[in-house]
């Protein structure tokens, strides 16, 4: 990737060609990292570089950032599957009703149980343990489906199918995690991919090491063992490296035969298990990091090297000037993971919390887009969200006038990159919804949260408090307190860390955002947890 602006404008314009050929279409590389936080690189997404940025050496991300629009207010969902399915469908996760990660097996909720007061497994008849307040919501726990009629799925036309129909050679490499095994949605070929390497129902790898066959050994095998990498069994090849090599091989055909390609390279790194990548780990240990920190930094460096290999490849093949590169993460960094070492709940600072949460640490993510010769290089502060990727990518590909069975929620953010045309309104509401319990223990700043951002304002709805406030008979003394505790208002411009709840100071703004959030959740028939006492779903924020 050249660091100076490229004179590649013509790449997107029609060339003299056969009558039956479409205008030359740009190649698109979507580089999606996993559980990789907003401050987990040396790239400055924020107004400044934060101390957490200094843990990482990521020269290739830096290199890409220097020719990209760097989005400082880009959002994903709080966990993996909802983001990945929003990208594929163009829908908000509250709208797909896929608000949690999909299990490897069909019809199996991933919602945690246990933890005492707040949660009980909802077994149809609401058999919560005594004292439990909420049980799990009814949600599309089987993920997305390219076919109608599959229980507990969102039926949708996939982004990738439109690309393939438009002539794109579409390649999936890495983590898919859109749907449970035994459903059509789990199969990348059903979503329009021409090639699928390693994409399954798994949301994590069984093992990152080729020496462990990526989990494909009698001793270690489970459904998270990574498929399609037999070449590297018994070798030192790290999973990130193996996936990168396979991805570049897959581009041989479209490059040779001048077909446009879409490469969706979705690294399993930096998800759990946080195993050290021994190509890089020692220097982080030597620098005084603990084993978990060093292991995590080594996984990050592996991803950075992978990105560099892709960028180098595009240049070597002479196609960099006609290849758009998108770099993004599926959710915020995981700050509730002891494997990462350090101190829990600090890794995303200055952002509050991490993966799983609707606070900024869980949802604000890295995003860079490079469109050769057309990029406004620098930071863009307009808030954007993962479902925008569907119309954005089709916009980049020049696919117009498509019709989808689903109602789209995203908007093209290409104008924010090129400066041509009108991008999303900076004041449009962005909705986040995690009506689930994440771990078998209680996590107050993660479990059962919704949020909406409008401009600099952000409302966080603590559903548990909302439910409690609705149970006057059960909690007569706490009703008013609970209602107040249910809605938090933050001004992100002044308070990026969401430390100062100003709901009491701005009751009208609080009410307006509560209405906005309620309206969206209501219109989308969003999943809500069930209040055990009443058997009804928890109230929306404007019903308190």
Site track for a second copy across 125-164, x = CB under 8 A: ---------------------------------------x
CB of 110 to a second copy, least distance (A): 17
Other CB atoms within 10 Å distance of the CB of residue 219: 6
Residue linked to tokens 């307040």: 133
Structure tokens at 27: 């190649």
CB of 317 to a second copy, least distance (A): 16
Of 47, 116, 123, 230, the one binding a second copy by CB under 8 A = 230
Site track for a second copy across 164-183, x = CB under 8 A: xx-x-xx----------xxx
Residue 218 sits in the site that holds a second copy (CB under 8 A): yes
Report long-range pairs for 499-507 (Cβ below 8 Å, ≥24 apart).
499/352, 503/459
Extended beta strands in 366-496, E state: 367-370, 378-380, 384-385, 430-434, 449-454, 457-462, 487-491
| Cα end-to-end distance, the chain, whole Å | 53
Residue linked to tokens 């050496």: 57
The footprint of a second copy on residues 94-113 (CB under 8 A) is 105-106
CB 336 within 8 A of CB 356: yes
Rounded Cα distance between 138 and 109, Å, is: 9
The CA-atom distances, in angstroms, between 196 and each of 268, 313, 360, 454, 534 are 14, 20, 33, 38, 46
Of 64, 201, 325, 414, the one binding a second copy by CB under 8 A = 201
The CA-atom distances, in angstroms, between 312 and each of 184, 246, 445 are 35, 15, 41
207 or 246: CB nearest a second copy:
246
Residue 18 sits in the site that holds a second copy (CB under 8 A): yes
Of 27, 53, 80, 190, the one binding a second copy by CB under 8 A = 190
Residue 196 sits in the site that holds a second copy (CB under 8 A): yes
Structure tokens at 370: 């490079």
Residue 236 sits in the site that holds a second copy (CB under 8 A): no
The footprint of a second copy on residues 258-297 (CB under 8 A) is 259
164 or 279: CB nearest a second copy:
164
Residue linked to tokens 């129909």: 165
Rounded Cα distance between 467 and 541, Å, is: 10
Residue 216 sits in the site that holds a second copy (CB under 8 A): yes
Of 68, 69, 81, 213, the one binding a second copy by CB under 8 A = 213
Residue 402 sits in the site that holds a second copy (CB under 8 A): no
Of 47, 223, 290, 316, the one binding a second copy by CB under 8 A = 223
CB of 301 to a second copy, least distance (A): 25
CB 104 within 8 A of CB 224: yes
CB of 203 to a second copy, least distance (A): 13
117 or 221: CB nearest a second copy:
221
| Backbone φ and ψ of 181, nearest 5° | -60, 150
Eight-state DSSP code of residue 181: B
The footprint of a second copy on residues 244-263 (CB under 8 A) is 246, 249-250, 252-253, 256-257, 259
92 or 102: CB nearest a second copy:
102
Q: What is the arrangement of strands in the sheet containing 536-537, beginning at the earlier edge strand? A: 119-120, 134-135, 530-531, 536-537
Rounded Cα distance between 269 and 399, Å, is: 31
- The full 3-state SS of 308-334, as one line of letters, equals HHHHHHHHHCCCHHHEEEEEEECCCCC
Residue 441 sits in the site that holds a second copy (CB under 8 A): no
213 or 335: CB nearest a second copy:
213
Rounded Cα distance between 437 and 447, Å, is: 5
Q: Which region among 17-25, 328-336, 352-360, 457-465 touches a second copy (by CB under 8 A)?
A: 17-25
75 or 214: CB nearest a second copy:
214
Q: Is 27 helix (H, G, I), strand (E, B) or coil?
A: strand
43 or 195: CB nearest a second copy:
195
Residue 309 sits in the site that holds a second copy (CB under 8 A): no
CB of 156 to a second copy, least distance (A): 17
Binding site for a second copy (CB under 8 A): 18, 20-21, 105-106, 164-165, 167, 169-170, 181-184, 186-187, 189-190, 194-197, 200-201, 213, 216, 218, 221-223, 227-228, 230-235, 246, 249-250, 252-253, 256-257, 259
């Amino acid at each position: 990737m050249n660091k100076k602006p490229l004179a590649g404008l013509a790449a997107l314009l029609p060339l003299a060609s056969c009558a039956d050929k479409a205008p030359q279409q740009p190649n698109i590389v979507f580089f999606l990292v996993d559980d990789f936080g907003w401050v987990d690189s040396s790239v400055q997404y924020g107004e400044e570089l934060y101390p957490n940025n200094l843990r990482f050496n990521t020269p290739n991300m830096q290199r890409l950032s220097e020719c990209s629009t760097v989005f400082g207010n880009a959002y994903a969902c709080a966990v993996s599957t909802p983001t990945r399915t929003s990208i594929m469908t163009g829908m908000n996760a509250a709208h797909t009703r896929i608000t949690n990660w999909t299990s490897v097996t069909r019809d199996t909720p991933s919602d945690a149980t246990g933890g005492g007061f707040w949660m009980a497994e909802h077994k149809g008849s609401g058999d919560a343990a005594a004292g439990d307040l909420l049980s799990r919501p009814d949600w599309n726990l089987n993920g997305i489906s390219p076919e109608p009629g599959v229980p507990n799925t969102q039926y949708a036309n996939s982004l990738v199918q439109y690309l393939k129909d438009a002539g794109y050679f579409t390649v999936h490499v890495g983590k898919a995690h859109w749907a449970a095994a035994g459903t059509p949605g789990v199969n990348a070929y059903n979503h329009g991919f021409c090639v699928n390497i390693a994409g399954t129902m798994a949301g994590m790898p069984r093992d990152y090491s080729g020496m462990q066959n990526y989990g494909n050994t009698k001793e270690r095998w489970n459904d998270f063992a990574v498929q399609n990498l037999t070449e590297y069994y018994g070798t030192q090849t790290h999973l990130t490296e193996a996936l990168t090599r396979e991805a570049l091989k897959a581009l041989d055909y479209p490059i040779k035969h001048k077909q446009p390609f879409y490469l969706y390279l979705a690294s399993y790194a930096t998800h759990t298990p946080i195993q050290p990548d021994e190509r890089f780990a020692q220097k982080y240990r030597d620098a005084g990091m603990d084993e978990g920190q060093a292991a995590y930094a080594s996984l990050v460096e592996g991803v950075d090297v992978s990105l560099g290999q892709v960028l180098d490849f595009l240049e070597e093949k002479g196609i960099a000037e006609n290849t758009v590169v998108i770099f993004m993460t599926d959710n915020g960094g995981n700050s509730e993971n002891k494997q990462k070492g350090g101190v829990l709940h600090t890794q995303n600072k200055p952002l509050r919390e991490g993966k799983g949460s609707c606070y900024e640490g869980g949802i604000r993510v890295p995003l860079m887009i490079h469109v050769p010769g057309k990029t406004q290089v620098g930071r863009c502060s307009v808030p954007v969200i993962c479902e925008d990727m569907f119309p954005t990518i089709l916009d980049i590909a020049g696919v117009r006038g498509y019709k989808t069975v689903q109602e789209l929620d995203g908007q093209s953010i290409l104008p924010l990159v090129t400066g041509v045309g009108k991008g999303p309104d900076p004041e449009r509401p962005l909705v986040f919804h995690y009506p689930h319990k994440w771990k078998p223990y209680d996590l107050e700043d993660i479990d059962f949260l919704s949020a909406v951002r409008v401009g600099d304002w952000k409302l966080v709805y603590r559903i548990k408090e909302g439910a409690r406030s609705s149970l006057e008979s059960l909690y007569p003394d706490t009703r008013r307190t609970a209602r107040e505790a249910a809605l938090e208002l933050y001004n992100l411009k002044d308070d990026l860390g969401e430390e100062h709840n100003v709901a009491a100071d701005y009751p009208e703004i609080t009410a307006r955002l509560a209405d906005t959030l309620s309206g969206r959740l209501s219109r989308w028939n969003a999943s809500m947890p069930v209040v055990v006492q009443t058997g009804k779903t928890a109230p929306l924020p404007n019903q308190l």
